[in-house]
A and B are shown apart, each in its own frame.
Chain A
């Protein structure tokens, strides 16, 4: 169906179900319980899961398939955001104008940067893309202030032209009247679930681009990219010029990043220069590697994992800790809080770093490999139970 084999179709269906039911899955704890701290089912974070999922899927098309490690993808993210906010300022708050423009401008940007950077491979390619991204960041930060509004970030002011703005039009991003930041809240017993328009908008787009990425993975073009990854020189000797393929992959991946940036601005009408900083480029590399580079699901898992830590762990503070451990005797309570303190709040980077190291050391294939190992283990124990007396013939 849809040009996919049975296995991919199953994966797509699972992803679709997970995406659409995220408001339930991410809110497993009742609202008033102490564990509610770990709930992730609020609109902003769910939107980020979907958006950074798109970003990582796009990055994986380049890194996972061709092996080219770009350290400059945040530049496209920023370009996408600026495009969308400019459309808000000039036309109106309908995201339908900005998003295609975000994809087009980031595509052009990727073509320019890619054309130069793709002349080299390996570490030189990484450094070139990093240099371009830092250049874009510094330009956005200072020289191009009239276009980007510098460090304050580009935002919409009351005196902007907004020529298409209707009298009754919503004053925040929307799609033909479907306002992104409005949501419906449903209380079921002690639980409360939030269904947000913006999240479902991002979610549907994420499913579409996920489908597109499966098709690219399975296409002859995808096969060609894998061939480039395995041995580029051999490709060249057989008479094929690999550069157009890698450049195409770079541009597609840049367009994914532009779309993600555009969606960020569609959820929250502001574009900041720090979105283009090298740390943001590094983040998407971490997401992909953490989840599993070259796999379909990996980057999405990695994106979710990192965003969860950034938003949930950074908000746990000492007061929260004291509440958790209130049952312990006073001295012991203080000691436990003292032990955990470096890993929460502003220390979330530390926790994430340790987890990243553990994953890279013990699961080189990322979280996906972890899942596969668990699945294999379950399978093995099952088989053991089924055929307890089976013996292997000696070789």
Chain B
């Protein structure tokens, strides 16, 4: 027989423990009442800025971060307000978003999908971020977009130029302001045809991931439609830093144009290698050898120095544009950081503003409400002229810039000149275009 020693204290202790045990489940239910992931309850709202601070796109990432900080400052009523003054929607008042002060957290994507997802997850799970913005490199952007869809927060893509981001891999919670490979091809092809002729043999070097593949496909299709011939397409690993072994075969291939589907540090290195091999001075098939860089950026142009002279490429936006929005943005960015913004900085700034504006118009931070406010939204005054956020694939449609490396740059930022502003109508495509087919937005997820 067992012996029990009941004491007054023992009974009280057991009772207290049992009571706590019974009460525990009620705490669980009480705290899971939020209507959607990370619903802001205090006086502030947290945005997550997830950019590459290391890796081949680090320069772009640092510039994006500057723009994002500037956007937060403007949203909270600091500074001169920047593009908030020229934006066609007047919902933003400079008192944060929906009266809540805007705070932000930052993370390093390392230009790797895994690291980017880990960093975005910690922002969502630990810091309570309600929106993730950023992601240079389309591989990273697509990986993080998928994560945001699952977690139930909005993803405002930064610099991502692959067709897949709003094509095969599009998601209901993801939005892209930046242009894409198809638009680059459509804008560049006519300019290339008039500058270099319709009878050309192109050799492609392509960064081996989603962005490189889709851009190469787009450029090849657009140039072949004008009569160019694609001699070869060689895929190069993203992590490469020396491209000499890829450049040498170009010389014997019979090609007279080299298309570099590279970006960031890759492009700086491959272009420099190509110039060192003397490609620009060659005459092949009776024509001057030319180099094309379909996706340009001022940071790359600065990195490649005088090598970019005369090289043609396309851009989403450039600080030399003279509309009111661009001027206001360049002014406030320049005053804060002492340098003109890059087009990756511009797209991140605009995305942050567009998100804040959509929250104001929707009257909520709920991702489904915000997504509804962004879908089919037409706006102006953000530096790109009249722009449409298409509801079918969450892609922005606007004018595209065709740029050329300046022959006589007057200072370190004045490296590119605007050759042509390609009107929006010329770069538009149907949502079910073959290059964008196979995707499915799904439905918005609020967590």
Report chain B residues within 8 Å CB of A192: 31
Q: Please tell me if B9 contacts chain A, counting CB pairs below 8 Å.
A: no
| Interface flags, A135-147, vs B, CB<8A=1, else 0 | 0001001100000
CB distance from B124 to the nearest CB of A (A): 9
Q: Does A151 contact B (CB under 8 A)?
A: yes
* Residue of B whose beta carbon sits closest to that of A316: B106
Check A274/B126 contact, CB under 8 A, given A185-B31, A315-B105: no
Which of the 9-residue segments B141-149, B177-185, B222-230 touches chain A? B141-149
Q: Are B143 and A155 in contact (CB under 8 A)?
A: yes
Find residues 146-184 in chain B having any chain A CB closer than 8 Å to their own CB: 146-147, 150-151, 164, 168-169
Whether a CB of chain A sits under 8 angstroms from the CB of B121 is yes
B32 close to A158 (CB less than 8 A): no
Query: Is B32's CB under 8 angstroms from A185's CB?
Result: yes
Whether A194 is near chain B, meaning CB under 8 Å from some CB there, is yes
Given contacts A44-B121, A186-B31, A311-B122, contact A270 B108 (CB under 8 A): no
Q: What sequence of 0s and 1s flags, for each residue 173-212 of chain A, a beta carbon within 8 Å of any chain B beta carbon?
A: 0000000010011111000101000000000000000000
- Contact residues in A for B168 (Cβ distance below 8 Å): 157
Partner of B438, one of A159, A181, A272, A274: A159
A346: Cβ under 8 A from any B Cβ: yes
Cβ-closest chain A residue relative to B150: A172
Residues of A within 8 A of B164 (CB): 152
Cβ of A314 within 8 Å of any chain B Cβ, yes or no, is: yes
Inter-subunit contact B114/A151 (CB<8 Å): no
Q: Does B113 make an interface contact (CB < 8 A)?
A: yes
The answer to whether A274 touches B114, judged by C-beta atoms less than 8 angstroms apart, is: yes
Which residues of B have CB within 8 Å of A319?
A: 69, 104, 106
Q: Complex formed: what's the CA distance from A268 to B106 in Å?
A: 21
Q: In the complex, A323→B53 CA distance in Å?
A: 21
Per-residue CB contact flags for chain A residues 317-347 toward chain B (1 = under 8 Å, else 0) read 1010000000000000000000000000110
- The B contact surface, by secondary structure, is helix
A73 at interface, CB cutoff 8 A = no
Smallest CB–CB gap between A51 and chain B, Å? 11
Is residue A275 within 8 Å, beta carbon to beta carbon, of the partner chain? Answer: yes
* A224 at the B interface (CB under 8 A): no
Residue A100, interface by CB 8 Å: no
Are B142 and A315 closer than 8 Å at their CB atoms?
no
Does A232 make an interface contact (CB < 8 A)? no
In contact, A270 and B27 (Cβ under 8 angstroms): no
* A48 touches B (CB below 8 Å): yes
Chain B residues with Cβ under 8 A from A157's Cβ? 168, 440
Q: Which residues of B contact A39 (CB under 8 A)?
A: 126
Task: Check: A153 CB closer than 8 A to any chain B CB.
Answer: yes
B119 engages A314 (CB within 8 Å): yes
* B49 nearest CB across to chain A (Å): 9
A274 to B442, CA, bound (A): 28
Residues of chain B within 8 A of A48, CB atoms compared: 118
List CB contacts (< 8 Å) of B355-387 with chain A: none
The residue that A275 contacts in the complex, of B114, B169, B209, B442, with Cβ under 8 A, is B114
Please give, as numbers and ranges, the residues of chain A lying within 8 Å of B113 by CB-CB distance: 151-153, 270, 272, 274
Chain A contributes a number of interface residues (CB within 8 A of B) equal to 41
Q: Give the residue name and chain of the A residue nearest to B126 (CB).
A: A42
The reply to whether the CB of A150 lies closer than 8 angstroms to some CB of chain B is yes
Contact assessment for B53 and A346 in the assembled complex, using a CB-CB cutoff below 8 Å: yes
Give the residue of A44, A45, A152, A158 whose beta carbon is less than 8 angstroms from that of B440. A158
Q: CA of A319 to CA of B102 in the docked complex: distance in angstroms? A: 13
Cα-based distance from A275 to B118 in the complex (angstroms): 12
Contact of A152 among B28, B142, B438, B442 (CB under 8 A): B142
Closest to B208 in A: A142
Interface set, chain B 102-141, CB cutoff 8 A to A: 104-108, 112-115, 117-119, 121-122, 125-126, 138-139
Is A43 part of the contact surface with B, judged by Cβ < 8 Å?
A: yes
Q: Give CA–CA (A315, B438) in the complex, Å.
A: 36
| B210 adjacent to chain A (CB < 8 Å) | yes
Q: Knowing A194-B125, A315-B107 are in contact, say whether A345-B53 is a contact too (CB < 8 A).
A: yes
Q: Is B435 in the interface zone, CB < 8 Å from A? A: no
A369 to B138, CA, bound (A): 45
* Chain A residue at minimum C-beta to C-beta distance from B105: A315
Which A residues are CB-close (under 8 A) to B117?
268, 270
Do A317 and B106 touch (CB < 8 A)? Answer: yes
- Chain A residues positioned under 8 Å from B53 (CB to CB): 345-346
- Contact A268 B121, CB 8 Å, known A152-B210, A159-B438, A184-B32: yes
Q: A42 contacts B150, CB within 8 Å? A: no
Q: Which residues of chain B come closer than 8 Å to A44, judged between CB atoms?
A: 118, 121-122, 125-126
- Asked if B208 contacts A141 (CB within 8 A), the reply is yes
Q: A142 touching B139 by the CB < 8 A rule?
A: no
Question: How distant is the Cα of A275 from the Cα of B112 in the complex, in angstroms?
Answer: 9
Question: In the complex the two chains form, is B209's CB within 8 Å of A150's CB?
Answer: yes
Q: Is B235 interfacial (CB-CB < 8 Å)? A: yes
When A152-B113, A268-B121 are in contact, do A346 and B440 touch as well, CB less than 8 Å? no
**Residue pair B125, A42 in contact (C-beta under 8 Å):** yes
Closest-by-CB residue of B relative to A280 is B114
Q: Which residues of B contact A153 (CB under 8 A)?
A: 113-114, 139, 143
17 A–B contacts from the bound complex (CB under 8 Å): A43-B121, A150-B210, A151-B113, A152-B142, A153-B139, A155-B146, A157-B440, A158-B440, A181-B151, A186-B31, A194-B125, A268-B121, A270-B114, A272-B143, A314-B108, A314-B119, A346-B53
- Other contacts beyond A39-B126, A158-B442: 16, CB < 8 A: A42-B125, A42-B126, A44-B118, A44-B121, A45-B122, A151-B210, A152-B139, A152-B143, A152-B164, A181-B150, A268-B147, A270-B113, A275-B114, A315-B106, A315-B122, A319-B106
Chain B interface (Cβ within 8 Å of chain A)?
27-28, 30-32, 53-54, 58, 69, 104-108, 112-115, 117-119, 121-122, 125-126, 138-139, 142-143, 146-147, 150-151, 164, 168-169, 208-210, 235, 237-238, 438, 440, 442
